[in-house]
Chains A and B, each alone.
Chain A
């Protein structure tokens, strides 16, 4: 049983082993299909485990301790895995979308000299992410948490000969590590409070002690949330995600849209019992999420790179999910995570298809939307996919994004006016940047030779697009208003009141979104506008994402370089070592005076040492 439950993690690890050992012999296709097959196998096992949980009348979790890990006095942690309603949904998302992206990558990465390395990293990512979601305790969750950070580092810097990419990878890891420090401290505090790191133990104690834990829960949840702001790219740590677009596009789709970045949402949902004891933290979570949604959403409005629009959009949508968690609407948060996984993976892969199709002329940047235009006719499947993904993102009914976003807006509407205001504004901004992107990329006339010669991508790439498009269209059915499937499925873990559809609210935002799409269409009927508006003023401010990165460069990075240099060149060499050498000099001068005693004979030194030892001994014998 242990082996079966662990096999979704072990399959990708097996894939890595085989591809490292015999990848050269397998050749490009063999490597790609091997890596994809093991993920499909993981998906199949995940499906079987899901069915097992679903088949149980009480949706009882499958829980195994695979191996011991750390056993130091009271600290007992094992490699334990837990498949319950929450983790089984995540497993399906990770392996399902993961498998599609593996297959897509066979086409996208065709001809890359480091094809083998790419698929090794992708497999490692799936194994890490599954460790994260399947963990039965906080420390194993953290193992997956940091390992997906490593995969992200490796994949962002995949084309490492360009220093820019390598630097982006390092930035992603370091910024995530800042969050991770918060997470680790949170784990330390959990252990001190509960004497265990196992979910079962901790949440049992939470249930039993309730409000008595409020103070501890407040500290713990704030620390955990710092971790979430790193991985799920929230203010103040979101700056790594847009730069992460340096990686190959399938990576952007898999890691930086559909899976890894949702880790923070998953973690908060997993630990929701703790968060519910900490109303102050929840307030902060809701506001940070809503603020992030707006800041990133408005930044997406003024990006020129096709992937950076989607990157800021991801940050913004993660803000929605975080805000929902802060509002206590965990089901809505998970629901949006799910639909977003579909439509954002779809959008990224469609964008990848565009970049692939634009690769005609190496002197034209294939990601700059100023170079595009008129691609709809040349890439019909990609265009259709992009439209579906975009409309789902903009929240147009009956696509999936409409239902999940509406649930979050409704939760905000009934709970927190400020959060509602921020999220509502973001919903409109979202439709604006979707409209802008659609028109700049696909409509009008081709603005470069690359755009004019663009071609549709091969079937291995368009097939995953179609599969994801189906999900983006129908995903909403998973949790229809008034207590849909997801709501009931998560009920054993998250007992929430299901809300019926608020028709006026839904109609209001639908109308605004459609209007915003139309406005964007009208505004960018002359595409030159896009280039003009980022040149200065507010446009430039938004294009540079509210200049938060610039602020960090001034306030954090530069001072650190300065401190580091001063420590190394002034303090260490001058002060600390200077003092040591100074003492040395004093002795050297003294030594000049007593030079006669230096005979150079080891025997004499030995005698003197012995004499000294005898004297010291004698002194203590006498004194005693």
Chain B
């Protein structure tokens, strides 16, 4: 079933090439809807009590090196798979307004990227993981570089080289680990342990590769450029799915393969996470471009996720996993929201808006809900994630939780300022007078995200329930505290 899931979008991508330009969007929609349906079946048949990999499929690939095509899902990846299939469907739905040329190539690349990201979350062989990882890079490079804004080439090249350079480190680490263990199978490598000379270098290689992707301060500067230049659907995928590859990698590779080293480096990672939370928020506040503001807010939010991961306890990791989904929903939603406005006004300068609530009450209400979700208002999803992360962090280091909690104030400051500049007060540009409220097609692309924000915020137990056993297995397997 997992292979089916991974390769449905690939088949769809080929199909897109064969049909006419006009019908390419519908083929892409159908494909991504099918992928979502399959992932929902996966969710229904997922056994939360197992704690181990499920639906494992394994095929020999390069037996000389112990490389196999092996995929499987557990409680750590299951929600990320769902997030991925949902986001791709919504994004392809929303692309009609954002993409006006070369639709066929665009939808093909989107579907290729879906295959690649699903592969990253499902691969249980390190080499396969690497292949999908690199494979995910290329479509995004083109989506920014071809369909992006005025500085798209600079942003695309920077994005590509930065993450490529980082993943070369990861390739080396993977090769060394695989050769060392005689197999690239993640389980075998994990059982071998990491108590050998030079494992510090491998840990760091992984950490840097993932830190660039997350991004963790100070490796974040590719992100604002990429976000600002990417077309709206690209930004949504980037924030909601691609960044999660980094934080997922931190859990799956750094934490699972190097538990002792994770413990040793936890203070450093936590410090960087806190700097990211506060620094990202401070920089976000100073932005006048709405998209850049949300991009920097990602740096701040992803800091919480890193904090949770390196709290190295069950609450921290579970909170981080939930927050990955939460960030995908609320930040993905905010990028869509900004996109709606960009399509109408062709600017994102908050100085040119103001008072939009008068003209676009529905749009403003939806935007406010996402702002509140992102801000971590209770009864919405972000609060549950942040609180559980902070509880985990508090257990391992109360001071870390204390500093990180300051981010709660700062997120209110920059997000409410964003809301105020854009939606409240009086209009600062006559061009706003012609603005029309959202069409139903647009509402349909954000509404599912908002509904999910409320669902998680009000009923988080089922979401934690699916990940609980896997997180416990991961931590106890590494001899880490469960608490």
Q: Which of A70, A160, A174, A560 contacts B461 (CB 8 A)?
A: A70
Q: Is B459 within 8 A of A565, CB to CB?
A: no
Chain B residues positioned under 8 Å from A579 (CB to CB): 218
CA–CA, A569 to B384, complex, Å? 33
Whether B377 sits at the interface, judged by CB under 8 Å, is: yes
User: Which residue of A161, A564, A613 has the most chain B CB atoms within 10 A of its CB atom?
Assistant: A564
| Residues from chain B with Cβ under 8 Å of A178 in the complex | 409
B458 contacts the other chain (Cβ, under 8 Å)? yes
Q: Among B286, B390, B483, which residue has the most Cβ atoms of chain A within 10 A?
A: B286
Q: Would A72 and B314 be within 8 Å (CB), given that A174-B416, A580-B162, A580-B221 are in contact? A: yes
Q: Nearest Cβ distance between residue A546 and chain B, in whole angstroms?
A: 23
B391 touches A564 (CB 8 A): no
A69 CA to B379 CA in the complex, in Å? 10
CB of B168 to closest CB in A, whole Å: 9
B69 within 8 A of A: no
The answer to whether A181 and B409 have CB atoms under 8 Å apart is yes
- Min CB gap B305→A, angstroms: 15
In the complex, are the beta carbons of B412 and A139 less than 8 A apart? no
Among the listed B218, B409, B468, which residue makes an inter-chain contact with A177, where contact means beta carbons less than 8 Å apart? B409
Question: In the assembly, what is the distance between CA of A71 and CA of B465, in Å?
Answer: 7
Nearest-neighbour CB distance to chain A for B51, whole angstroms, equals 13
Q: Is the CB of A577 within 8 A of B221?
A: yes
Chain B 391-412, CB-CB to A under 8 Å as 1, else 0, gives 1001100100110011011001
User: Counting CB contacts under 8 A, is B424 at the interface?
Assistant: yes
Q: Does A567 contact B (CB under 8 A)?
A: yes
Q: Do B413 and A174 touch (CB < 8 A)?
A: yes
B220, B221, B222, B357 interface centre (most CB from chain A within 10 Å): B221
Size category, B interface: 35 or more
Which residues from chain B contact A508 at a C-beta distance below 8 Å?
none
Chain B residue contacts of A565, Cβ below 8 A? 286
Q: Are B172 and A616 in contact (CB under 8 A)?
A: yes
- Residue A405, interface by CB 8 Å: no
B176 within 8 A of A: yes
A167–B372 Cα distance when bound, in Å, is 17
Q: Which residues of A contact B279 (CB under 8 A)?
A: 567, 571
Given contacts A72-B318, A74-B314, 11 further A-B contacts (CB under 8 A): A69-B459, A69-B461, A70-B464, A75-B315, A150-B377, A161-B358, A161-B426, A177-B412, A560-B285, A564-B282, A564-B286
The reply to whether B283 and A68 contact each other, CB–CB distance below 8 Å, is: no
- In the assembled complex, 15 residue pairs joining A and B whose CB atoms fall closer than 8 Å, in A order, are A68-B459, A69-B459, A70-B387, A70-B460, A73-B472, A143-B379, A153-B416, A162-B425, A162-B426, A163-B425, A170-B417, A181-B405, A188-B398, A192-B394, A569-B286
Query: Is B54 interfacial (CB-CB < 8 Å)?
Result: no
Chain B residues 417-441 with CB under 8 Å of chain A are 417, 420, 423-426
Q: Residue on B with the closest CB to A153?
A: B416
A188 touches B388 (CB 8 A): no
Structural contact, A147 and B378, CB atoms closer than 8 A? yes
Q: Which residues of A contact B194 (CB under 8 A)?
A: none
Partner of A564, one of B283, B372, B408: B283
The 4 closest A-B pairs by CB, nearest first: A568-B286, A166-B424, A577-B221, A143-B378
Q: In the bound complex, what is the Cα–Cα distance between A565 and B412 (angstroms)?
A: 18
Q: Which residues of the other chain, A, contact B465 by a CB distance below 8 angstroms?
A: 71
Per-position binary interface string of chain B over residues 431-474, scored 1 when its CB falls under 8 Å from any chain A CB and 0 otherwise: 00000000000000000000000000011110011001000100
Which B residues are within 8 Å of any A CB, using their own CB? Answer: 65, 158, 161-162, 171-172, 175-176, 179-180, 217-218, 220-222, 279, 282-283, 285-287, 314-315, 318-319, 355, 357-358, 372, 377-379, 383-384, 387-388, 390-391, 394-395, 398, 401-402, 405-406, 408-409, 412-413, 416-417, 420, 423-426, 458-461, 464-465, 468, 472, 482-483
Produce 1/0 per residue, A13-56, CB < 8 A to B. 00000000000000000000000000000000000000000000
Q: Which residues of B contact A624 (CB under 8 A)?
A: 179-180
With contacts A75-B315, A181-B409 taken as known, whether A166 is within 8 angstroms of B221 at the C-beta atoms is no
Q: Nearest chain B CB to A103's CB is how many angstroms away?
A: 26
**Is A584 part of the binding interface, using a Cβ–Cβ cutoff of 8 Å?**
yes
* A390 contacts the other chain (CB 8 A): no
Is B401 in contact with A620, judged by CB distance below 8 angstroms? no
Give the interface centre of A67, A72, A166, A564 by most chain B CB atoms within 10 Å.
A72
CA distance A72 to B460 in the complex (A): 9
Give Cα distance in the complex from A577 to B315, angstroms: 34
Name the residue of chain A whose CB is nearest to the CB of B161: A584
Q: Which residues of B contact A143 (CB under 8 A)?
A: 378-379, 383
Return chain B residues, CB-CB under 8 Å to A70: 384, 387-388, 460-461, 464
The reply to whether A160 and B377 contact each other, CB–CB distance below 8 Å, is no
In angstroms, Cα B416 to Cα A617, docked, is: 53
